[in-house]
Amino acid sequence: MNSPSQSQAPLQAPKGTRDFYPEDMRVQNHLFDVWRRACLDFGFEEYEGPTFENLELFTEKSGQEIVTQLYNFKDKGDRDIALRPEMTPTLARMVNQKGNSLKLPLRWFSIPRLFRYEKSQRGRLREFFQLNMDIIGCESIAAEVDLLSAIIGMLKAFGLDSKDFSIQVSSRRLLSEFLDRQGVAADKKAPVYAALDKRAKLGETEFRNLLAKEGLTPASIDAIEAFFKCKGLEELKAYFPASAASEEAAAPDTASASVPGAPAPKVAKSGLWELEKLFEYMHALGYGDYLNLDLSVVRGLAYYTGIVFEVYDKGIGMRAVAGGGRYDNLLASLGGNSLTGVGFGMGDVVLADLLREKNLLPSGREPLDYFLVDVSPNDSKLPNPQLMLLAQKLRAEGRRVGYSLSGEKVKKQMSQANDQGAGRVLFFGSDKGTEGRYEVKDLKTGEQSVSAFEDL
């Protein structure tokens, strides 16, 4: 009869999660290193928050229906808790807690581990990492330009270019203005946005039925479908007065402006004006080939208010690599100051798949500078203490050093040196070495020499 240990299959990781073996961690660290370097190059500062939050933080922003997409539970204090499914609400809470003590604009980034209870499929897991970059407190289109430039810069650092990915850009503000013209009430816009976000996944009949349920007339639905087919800024201008593209869409409050000492009233820019400025700046920076107008980009989250964008792999399937946009009301809706925000998230799963297909991921482990091979007589099956001391001295000088832990034969030690990617082998106890001098072999060229410690 088999014992339990013999008959039971090994336990597996939970569905939708991953194990990171050393070769997987090499890939993961490469992603994180390029992400972090790009963020720092653009002047962003890193932050982090708790892995779990009060459930209210997410239901306050997205409604109770979000609970079906979360990992949530009651803790031992009978509090409703959720593992974070995204980072923006945590960012908003942290900024709100500090209030006016923070100097604006904020340029923050984070690489959190996130959790979503959804169907596992290619490029989408239940546990994943995501780069988040956000600018808080900048009302101008410069924030969007900066973030899109950062995205392009970091993807180029991975070895990708305009033939590999594109950034599809739209505007919630422009869509809102268009829906106003179609007579869609303000309280109906959120479900219409949700329907439009699902448009690519629905058949035409189902899509029209969904909009009809929200009270849109057949004529309005026809107009929306025609509007979504616009492929350039010139086509968009036909839907809006010429002044909308070049002037502010809202007139200033003349009553308050006439009060002596009153602050200058804020004047809203139209959605078309913002899109024109965005494309103008990105072309000036040499990034015009990366951007396309795509009004089908709506983004499902309700808090977006302005420019929205998604980054797509140009290969088969057009996978979304990243997405984000402007959220002007989120911090205020969570009890904070009325601060604007622009941000995006880029997941590690799809990005790694894309880089793997392009053969742009690192291969092999991090190499050692030296592997110390003990050629002196040793029957103890333990490393020579003097060899270990030499390794310690070399590491203190900034070298990566390895050696055998079990006093093996020279042939097996050489095999370990190759397996660990050592650049050089130092033969400890060689009769060619003298006090403070060591026989060294370069494993790439095969050249051997005798070097003083200072030369190592």
Share of the chain above pLDDT 70, in %: 91
Q: 261 pLDDT band (50/70/90 cuts)?
A: very low
Assess whether pLDDT exceeds 50 at residue 399.
yes
Assess whether pLDDT exceeds 50 at residue 256.
no
330 burial type by CB count under 10 A (0-12 exposed, 13-18 middle, 19+ buried): buried
Residue range 29-43, pLDDT digits in tens = 999 999 999 999 999
Question: Average pLDDT in the 352-374 region?
Answer: 92
**CB-based burial, 376-399: b 16+ in 10 Å, e otherwise:** eebeeeebbeebbebbeebeeeee
Question: Average pLDDT in the 204-227 region?
Answer: 88
Assess whether pLDDT exceeds 70 at residue 257.
no
Q: The tokens of 143 are what?
A: 């924030």
Question: Average pLDDT in the 267-295 region?
Answer: 91
Assess whether pLDDT exceeds 50 at residue 247.
no
Question: Average pLDDT in the 168-180 region?
Answer: 92
Q: Which residue has the higher pLDDT, 364 or 77?
A: 77
Residue range 118-148, pLDDT digits in tens = 887 777 899 999 999 999 999 999 999 999 9
Sign, Cα dihedral of 383, 384, 389, 394: negative
Q: 268 pLDDT band (50/70/90 cuts)?
A: low
Q: Vertex 275, ends 272 and 277: CA angle to 5°?
A: 110
Q: Report residue 70: phi and psi, to 5°.
A: -110, 160
Per-residue pLDDT at 213: 87
Least Cα distance to 29 among 342, 268, 348 occurs for 348
Percent helix, percent strand, percent coil in the chain, to nearest 5: 40, 20, 40
Q: 13 pLDDT band (50/70/90 cuts)?
A: very high
Assess whether pLDDT exceeds 60 at residue 72.
yes
400 burial type by CB count under 10 A (0-12 exposed, 13-18 middle, 19+ buried): middle
Across 91-100, 192-201, 213-222, which has the greatest mean pLDDT?
91-100
Q: Cβ atoms within 10 A of the Cβ of 194, count? A: 15
Q: 246 pLDDT band (50/70/90 cuts)?
A: very low
Sign, Cα dihedral of 208, 210, 214, 215: positive
Assess whether pLDDT exceeds 70 at residue 101.
yes
**Alpha-helical segments (H) within 264-409:** 271-284, 330-333, 348-357, 385-396
Q: Report residue 414: phi and psi, to 5°.
A: -65, -40
Average pLDDT, the chain: 87
Three-state SS for 413?
Answer: helix
Per-residue pLDDT at 2: 54
Q: 91 pLDDT band (50/70/90 cuts)?
A: very high
Q: Which residue has the higher pLDDT, 66 or 444?
A: 444
Assess whether pLDDT exceeds 80 at residue 396.
yes
Of 193-202, 250-259, 278-287, 439-448, give the lowest mean pLDDT range. 250-259
Q: Which residues pair with 133 in a beta bridge?
A: 109, 344
Q: 315 pLDDT band (50/70/90 cuts)?
A: confident
Cβ-contact 452, 437 below 8 angstroms:
yes
Per-residue pLDDT at 255: 31
Per-residue pLDDT at 135: 97
Strand-pair category, 106-110 with 80-83: unpaired
Q: Cβ atoms within 10 A of the Cβ of 354, count? A: 22
Q: Please give the Cα distance from 314 to 126 (Å, whole number).
A: 25
Q: The tokens of 227 are what?
A: 């509007």
Across 59-68, 178-187, 214-223, 273-282, which has the greatest mean pLDDT?
273-282
Q: Cβ atoms within 10 A of the Cβ of 417, count? A: 24
Of 26-30, 42-46, 294-298, give the lowest mean pLDDT range. 294-298
Question: Average pLDDT in the 10-27 region?
Answer: 93
Q: The tokens of 67 are what?
A: 């609970």
Q: Cβ atoms within 10 A of the Cβ of 187, count? A: 7
Q: Which residue has the higher pLDDT, 166 or 3?
A: 166
